Structure 1
Amino acid sequence: MLKTICYISDSNESESLENIKRIYAKAKQNNLKRNITGILIYQNGNFLQVLEGDEEHVDTTYEKIKFDSRHKNIIKVINNKIEQRIFEDYNFGFSIVKSSSEFNQLNEYLKWLKQADNKIANKVISMVENFISVIG
């Protein structure tokens, strides 16, 4: 059974671009091993991440994140079983939105996803759109 978890958190420290790249590389490496897709966004000291994949792998990954010292004030905003992945085809699964062009690419992808008219997908899309709205 597939599952998605979306969470937001505060960074425990002011993250440099190099630190963010290391976090991204580690997340991508770990999630590829477990066939977890999704998106990771860092903005103004906050993270938003969507994880999707096998229920057991997503739950285990989220539990590890909860105890990661780089995060504080973690709030799980979505925790649902899903029939299909939302971010499976997006930029090899994970991305950090750090420029207007990347925001525009993500925004175009989210618009395309909305056409599916899936309630859970639209809920996740709305969370991501709200989180990144100040970038554009």
Structure 2
Amino acid sequence: MLKTICYISDSCQEESLNTLKNLFSKAKKNNLKFNITGILIYSNANFLQVLEGNETNVNDTFKRISLDTRHRNLFKVIDINTQQRIFEDYNFGFTIVDSSKELNELNEYLEWLRKADNKLANKVVNMVENFITQKIAKQ
């Protein structure tokens, strides 16, 4: 059975670009190993991540994340069994909202998802868009 978990959290410190790239590289490697797809967004010391894949693998990955001392105020927004992946074609993307190129690519993908008219996808798209909008407004 497939599962989707979406969470938001605060970073315990303002992350440097190199630290974020290393974090993403490690996350992508682990997620490929466990066939997990999704998206990871970082902005203004906050993370939003969507994990999707085999229920056991997603639960185990989220548990590791929840024990990671780099996160605080971790809040699970979505925890649902599902029939299909939302971000399968996005190749576990990573977006730093300050990068206009990455933001444009993400917005194009979100628009494509919105047209798919999938209730869970639309819920996640709205959450990602709200996260991005709120973070940009704070800058």
TM-score by length of 1: 0.95
Rounded Cα–Cα distance in structure 2 between residues aligned with 1:13 and 1:95: 19
**For structure 2, which runs of at least 5 residues remain unmatched after alignment?**
none
1:78-124: CA deviation from partner (whole Å, max 9, x where unpaired) = 0111111111111x222123411211111011111111111111111
More helix by share: 2
1:43-72: CA deviation from partner (whole Å, max 9, x where unpaired) = 000000000000000000000000001000
Asked if 2 retains the 8 angstrom alpha-carbon contact of 1:103 and 1:135, the reply is: no
**Residue matched to 2:45:** 45
Cα 1:103/1:135, change in 2 over 3 Å: farther
Rounded Cα–Cα distance in structure 2 between residues aligned with 1:135 and 1:107: 14
Rounded Cα–Cα distance in structure 2 between residues aligned with 1:68 and 1:75: 13
Identity among equivalent pairs (%): 61
**Residue matched to 1:123:** 123
**For structure 1, which runs of at least 5 residues remain unmatched after alignment?**
none
2:113 is the counterpart of 1:100: no
Q: Partner of 2:94: helix, strand, or coil?
A: coil
The residue identity in structure 2 corresponding to 1:116 is: A
Superposition CA RMSD, Å: 1.2
TM-score by length of 2: 0.93
Rounded Cα–Cα distance in structure 2 between residues aligned with 1:63 and 1:114: 29
**Residue matched to 2:60:** 60
